[in-house]
Structure 1
Amino acid sequence: MGHSPAEVTAVVPARNAERMLPRCLESLSQSGVAEIIVVDGCSTDGTVGLALAAGARVLSDEGRGLPWARTLGVRSSSTRWVLLVDSDVVFGLTGVADLLTELVEGGHDALQAGLESVGGPGYWGQALAHHHRTGRSRLWFGLVATLVDRDLMLGVGFDDSFKSGEDIELRWRMRQSGLRTAVSRRVVVEHRFAADDFEFACDQFLMDGTGLGRMIRKHGWRGARLMLLPAAAAVRGSALSLAQGQPRWLRYYLAFFWYNYAGMARGLAS
């Protein structure tokens, strides 16, 4: 028996996402999903109005953060599968159907689409996109565009103490439970960035580092190896940049290194 996107509810957490949201919601509507639920994070821009105009059901996370927003959206859905989608993602016309087919035929419990990151015209946006396209993290299961069984997701749940890094924390627990997670090589979605300036990039680094710090704090010695991740990524990225004759990215990796560890210190202390 085949499966259809009509058995899928898309859950889109969004906060001040009026620039990113329209293309995301349009792509989901065209894919044939049963419903789109936008969970608003107390936006002060036109996010809610745009979501309603696109036909989405809008809920509020009441300022409780991204993990809670995702949980609220999943809990409010009524289909067998849920698609967790960030507002900066754009699916192709058959992307949801193809991802569902791959999940079922491959026997996966959760499957993330592959990401093709695109940056704006500025240096930092281009650097972020370059890093996402060439770094090893592109092969790590996360929650950017992920299809999962609704009841399974509610059973596994999120750790609400993680305001960032909740995808790493969830990945660890799912693997420990013997669940099969993967990143699709067949379905690739467009992944954009909300801004392309230095401030946006640093905020990303700080959030990622804070999430790693909280992971280390929660998991103790088992999480200690995560301390090496930013350094390893910075060294690998710098080496690749030099090998490819692109030394312009070295400034990016220096900032990546510095602000990830600043965030990690914050995560360890909080």
Structure 2
Amino acid sequence: SLQEIGIGEIIVVDAKSTDGTREIADRYATMMLEDPGIGLGTARNMGIAVSTKRFILNIGSDNVMSRGSLMEMLKTLAADHLQGVGAMTVVEGNDYLARSMNAWWGTRFRQGSTSVIGTPSLFDGALLRANPFDTSRQHSDDSELCERWSAQFDARFAISSAHVFEVGKNSWGEVALRCKNYGFSDNEVFKNGSAMGWTLNRKLKSIAHPARVDFVEPLGRMGLRTALPTAPFLLAFIGMRYASWVKNALRSARG
């Protein structure tokens, strides 16, 4: 899908995949790099460092770009004088899980201005090469970069109207994996913030964040007919996310 929408340089950072990703990427990639497995920040920076184009699109191996999506992201980036642009993600399918995930995504990551963007994300290449991801962050790299850019040079971000499909994510196993990774990120953000001297109020805000952004706010934006059947999914989602956070916090405390 990247070739079809006109991407001129495809750089793949592979983490010793065994699902056939590398064999497929070998046929299309401009360059293949080996992920040392020490964090997303490091892996992304490896690709960023060898990139040569004006813009950089960070995208996962499970993402499929729809026609016109890249142009829409580029148009939003230029027209609104932004430093980074995200896209709206869609899972294919019409079963309960697919409907619930799309209802969550559609209300959680809405088109318009936002403080943080995640994959897939489009940046000005020169700016990202000069101010890359923090390699000390293994999971919360998107949040750290956006917050750092905002503080350093008043960077602004938005989610465009572009739609990107996620393939192979319509299962409870994949949802659990997503929550596990979010929990890693939550713990990393909280641990780093506490070390920087967060106040009690700021810590409580961080603790409430998953419930607010993944349950309270999405439900508030849904109509009643969507909210009622989606609520059990969202409860399960934040339950798994908090469980992962607690598990990682206990592991960190044990050293």
TM class by smaller structure: 0.7 to 0.9
Aligned to 2:193, the other structure's residue is in SS state: helix
Question: What are the Cα deviations for residues 24-78 of structure 1, in whole angstroms up to 9, with x where unaligned?
Answer: xxx2212222211111111012111111222442211132332222111111111
Q: Is the 8 Å Cα contact of residues 70 and 162 (structure 2) preserved in structure 1?
A: no
1:69 aligns with 2:43: yes
**3-state DSSP class of the match of 2:123?**
strand
SS in 1 for 2:180: helix
Rounded to whole Å, the distance in 1 between the matches of 2:226 and 2:121 is 35
Match of 1:106 in 2: 80
Structure 1 residue 172 and structure 2 residue 147: aligned? yes
Match among 107, 112, 127 for residue 134 of structure 1: 107
Distance 2:128 2:248 in 1: 25
Cα distance in 2 for partners of 1:212, 1:138 equals 24
Contact residue 73 and residue 162 of structure 2 kept, 8 A? no
Residues 105 and 207 from structure 1, CA distance in 2 versus in 1: closer, same or farther, beyond 3 angstroms? same
Aligned with residue 208 of structure 2, among 228, 235, 240: 228
- Tell me what 1:52 maps to: 26
1:17 aligns to what?
A: none
Task: Give the structure 1 partner of residue 96 of structure 2.
Answer: 123
Within 5 Å, which residues of 2 pair with 1:87-102?
87-102=61-76
**Cα distance in 2, alignment partners of residues 85 and 219 from structure 1:** 27
Match of 2:129 in 1: 154
Q: CA deviation at 1:125?
A: 3.5
Distance 1:161 1:262, change over 3 A: farther
Deviations 1:221-259 (A, max 9, x none): 265222112222323445666822653322212212211
Aligned to 1:204, the other structure's residue is in SS state helix
Q: Does 1:252 align with 2:223?
A: no
Confirm or deny that 1:195 pairs with 2:173.
no
Separation in structure 2 between the aligned mates of residue 245 and residue 130 of structure 1, nearest angstrom = 8
Whether the 8 Å CA contact 2:68–2:162 is kept in 1: the answer is: no
Q: Distance in 1 between matches of 2:80 and 2:231?
A: 39
Q: TM-score, normalised by structure 1?
A: 0.78
* 1:264 corresponds to 2:245: yes
Q: Which runs of 5+ in 1 are unaligned?
A: 1-26
> Relative to 1, partners in 2 of residues 1:262 and 1:94: Cα closer, same or farther, differing over 3 Å?
same
Verify the 8 A CA contact 1:122 1:197 in the aligned structure 2: no
Query: 2:53 maps to which residue?
Result: 79
CA RMSD in angstroms comes to: 2.6
